[in-house]
Amino acid sequence: MDRLKESLLEAPIIEKEGYHYFVHPISDGVPMLRPELLREIVIKIIRKAELEDVDKIVTPAAMGIHISTAVSLMTDIPLVVVRKRQYGLDGEVSLSQVTGYSESEMYVNDVYEGDSVLVLDDVLSTGGTLAGLTGALEDIGADIRDIVCVIKKADGTNKLDEAGYDAKTLINVEVVDGEVVIVDEHGDD
């Protein structure tokens, strides 16, 4: 995970409404995402995630899409993107997404009762998106086999913890004095 560590240590920090936010290719698409970094991350996800009997990869739009697409291509597991746009399709389920800096509705399509899913996302910070998503997946009756996030901003508890779920992470960081500090280079299991 040398490329991921190096890229995080070089990430600029911005403040958005009192929230310290690192700008990174995985979480923001800037600076550009190099294939070798994406490859390193995807290999680590495949090694860390519980993939046995997983029917679908589920990821929230937008920044989980590139990671989840690459994992889908490597594992042949179909991908479902949870969108911020409502389509009104049969079986569509709405969920509320509340993060440290925004609040919105998201919509799940193509996940059904009994589906075994792997939830993938780029960053676990406040846990608002994943808490809302896991609640919607529970309501649908899906079996959440595993949750994996590339980066965890480890500044205390988050809403996913409060919802009773643990996420595996590849690396855990904090923002201290305007810099990214690596707290655990191996992440959470």
Amino acid symbol at 46:
I
What per-residue confidence (pLDDT) applies to 100?
56
Query: DSSP code of 32?
Result: P
Amino acid symbol at 49:
A
Q: What is d(CA 128, CA 134) in angstroms, rounded to the nearest whole number?
A: 10
Task: Give pLDDT tens digits for 71-88.
Answer: 999 999 999 999 989 999
Residue 97 Cα distances to 41, 75, 101, 126, angstroms: 25, 28, 11, 11
The residue-averaged pLDDT of 104-113 equals 94
Rounded to the nearest 5 degrees, what angle is found at the Cα of 28, between the Cα atoms of 92 and 107? 5
- Is-contact 19 100, C-beta < 8 A? yes
pTM: 0.94
Mean pLDDT of the chain, nearest integer: 93
Task: Give pLDDT tens digits for 24-48.
Answer: 999 999 999 999 999 999 999 999 9
Q: What is d(CA 167, CA 150) in angstroms, rounded to the nearest whole number?
A: 10
Tokens of 65: 């899409």
**Of 119, 117, 184, which is closest to residue 152 (Cα–Cα)?**
184
Q: What is d(CA 184, CA 166) in angstroms, rounded to the nearest whole number?
A: 16
Quote the percentage of the chain above a pLDDT of 70: 97
Least confident of 40-54, 113-127, 129-143, 154-168: 154-168
Q: 């009994």: which residue's tokens?
A: 114
- Is-contact 87 107, C-beta < 8 A? yes
- Is-contact 26 6, C-beta < 8 A? no
Q: What is d(CA 173, CA 147) in angstroms, rounded to the nearest whole number?
A: 18
The residue-averaged pLDDT of 139-143 equals 97
What per-residue confidence (pLDDT) applies to 98?
64
What per-residue confidence (pLDDT) applies to 102?
62
The residue-averaged pLDDT of 133-145 equals 97
What per-residue confidence (pLDDT) applies to 99?
60
Q: What is d(CA 19, CA 32) in angstroms, rounded to the nearest whole number?
A: 23
141 vs 177, residue with greater confidence:
141
**Of 175, 171, 170, which is closest to residue 155 (Cα–Cα)?**
175
Task: Give pLDDT tens digits for 49-71.
Answer: 999 999 999 999 989 999 999 99
